[in-house]
Amino acid sequence: MTETMPLWTAADERLLRAGVVELGDVLIEVSRSIHRHPETRFEEFFASELLARQLEDDGFAVEAPFAGMETAFRAGWDSGRAGPTVAIFCEYDALPGIGHGCGHNVIAASGLGAALLLTRLFRSDESLGGRILVLGSPGEEGGGGKIPIIRTGVLDGVAAALMVHPGGENLAAMRTLSRASLTFTFTGRAAHAAVRPEDGINALDAAVLTLTAIGLLRQQTPDGTRIHAILTEGGTAPNVIPERAVVTSSARCEDPDYLLDRLAPRLIDCARGAAMATGAEVDVDQSLPYLSLRPDPLLDRVVAAAYRCIGREPEPRLEGVFPGSTDMGNVSQVAPSIHPTIEIKPGLTMHSREAEELVGGEAGDRAVLDGALMLALTAAAVLRRPEIAQELVASFVPGLQV
C-alpha cells in the first residue's frame, strides 16, 4: 500500500458521510432499542431479529437461524461484479445483571450502519465490485458464538473481517489473550459431619485442594499468564459432609498452543489429583476456547487513517497485550481481521455500571455513527483498492482453529 495514494475517493467519503446523516436516526434507535432490551448469551431474539429485518429491508439475503444457533444470522449483499468480500461482525448480547455494560448495542448498530452505507456506495458506482457479509454473532460474553460460525466455512476467501468495540480510547488495533474456561464438578458422599464423618467423602475438600494446587501452579507459568478460579458450590450445611462442590476457572495467555496443550491440561491434573487424594470423583467441562486476537497490520493502518478522516486521532498501538479475550480472536486466526475500539469516554472501563449508562446515551450515539463511518471507510478502501485486498489475502497466514 503506497502511503501517498488515497484509500478511498473524495466522492466515496462524501457519499458515506451523507449516508450517516440520512441513516443517523435509524441507527441510534437500533442501538437504544437493543440497550433497552438487554438479552444474555444465546437469548438475543429481539436484537438479532431487529438487525436481520433492517438488513433484509435493504436487500440483503438473510439466513437465520445460522450455524446451529437460533440467534445467529448471516446476511449477504452481492454487487454482481467481481471484487473482494468484506465481513462485518455484529455482537448484541448483554452481561448478566449489568445489561449492556460492554456496549454490544453500539457494536451491533455500528456494524449495521456500515453495511447499509456500503450498499449505497455500490449502488452509486457501477464500476465497484465485491460483496458484503454481515454476521450476527451471539454469545460473545462467554459463549463463543463466532466459533460455530467459523466452522461453517463462511469466512473462506474473505479479504477482511471487521468489528468495532466501544471503550475508553480510540485504538486502531490491539492484541488479546487466549482463554480456556474449565469447570470442575466434584462428587463425594454425604454423611453426618459429627456422628459418622468417616462415612463421607468430602467434595469440598477436593475443591479446596484444587484451588491450592492452582495457586501453587501459578509460580511455574510464564509471564503474562493469568489463572482465575472461584468456588461456586461447596456444600449445603456445616454439619453435612459436602457431597458436591464446583470450581469454575479460566486461564489466559497469548500463545494459544501453550494454553491448550500445556496449561489447560495442568489445571485438569490439579483437579484430578485432588479428586484422587480425597476419594471424590471429578467431571471436567471445558468450553470452547477464545484464541488470541491477531490484528492485521495493513488493516491497522487503514483503520487509523479512517479514524483520522472522521476526526478521531487514534492512540499509539499498545506495546503489550490487552489482557482480555474475545472470540473475534478466533476469527483473526482464519481471516485478515481487525478489532478497533472507539472511545465512549476517555479511560472508561467496560463491564461497569458507568459504561452501561453511557453506551445508551449521547456518548454511545456518537460512537455508533462514528463507528459506522469508520468501518465503512475501512471497507471502502478494501473494495476500492485491489492491491489492498490482494495484499491482505496474500500475506495472511492461517493460525489455530478449534
Same domain, 211 and 73: no
Give the structural domain span for 211. 180-286
Closest CA to 109 of 342, 305, 301: 342
Rounded Cα distance, 281 and 285, in Å: 13
| Mean pLDDT, residues 5-25 taken together | 95
Same domain, 22 and 48: yes
Please report where in the chains the cell 455500490 appears, as a residue.
122
Say if residue 222 is exposed, middle or buried (CB neighbours under 10 Å; 0-12, 13-18, 19+): exposed
Say if CB 337 and CB 299 are below 8 A apart.
yes
User: What's the chain's length in residues?
Assistant: 402
Q: Please report the sign of the dihedral spanned by the C-alpha atoms of residue 342, residue 345, residue 348, residue 353.
A: negative
Residue 104 CB contacts under 8 Å (≥ 6 apart), including other chains: 34, 91, 92, 93, 94, 140
Q: What is the pLDDT of residues 167-217, one digit of tens each?
A: 999 999 999 999 999 999 999 999 999 999 999 999 999 999 999 999 999
- What is the structure's pLDDT at 40? 98
Global pTM value: 0.94
> What are the helix (H) ranges across 240-339?
256-258, 264-278, 297-309, 328-332
Say if CB 338 and CB 399 are below 8 A apart.
no
Rounded Cα distance, 402 and 394, in Å: 23
Number of domain units in the chain: 2
Take residue 258 and report the three cell numbers written for it: 501453550
- According to DSSP, the residues that pair with 136 across neighbouring strands are 73, 90
With 70 as the cut, is the pLDDT of residue 2 above it? no
Closest CA to 39 of 89, 91, 96, 90: 96
Q: Is residue 401 in some structural domain? A: no
| Mean pLDDT, residues 216-229 taken together | 95
Rounded Cα distance, 137 and 146, in Å: 6
Q: Is residue 300 in some structural domain? A: yes
Q: Where does a domain end: 271, 286, 301? A: 286
Q: Is residue 3 in some structural domain? A: no
- What is the structure's pLDDT at 319? 85
Same domain, 37 and 162: yes
Mean pLDDT of the chain: 97
With 90 as the cut, is the pLDDT of residue 3 above it? no
Same domain, 217 and 365: no
Q: What is the pLDDT of residues 141-156, one digit of tens each?
A: 999 999 999 999 999 9
Q: Is residue 1 in some structural domain? A: no
CATH number, position 82: 3.40.630.10
CATH number, position 280: 3.30.70.360
Closest CA to 178 of 250, 268, 88: 250
Tell me the CB-side half-sphere exposure of residue 335, using CA atoms within 13 A.
28
Rounded Cα distance, 332 and 318, in Å: 18
Say if residue 340 is exposed, middle or buried (CB neighbours under 10 Å; 0-12, 13-18, 19+): buried
Q: Is residue 2 in some structural domain? A: no
Q: Is residue 27 in some structural domain? A: yes
Rounded Cα distance, 149 and 147, in Å: 5
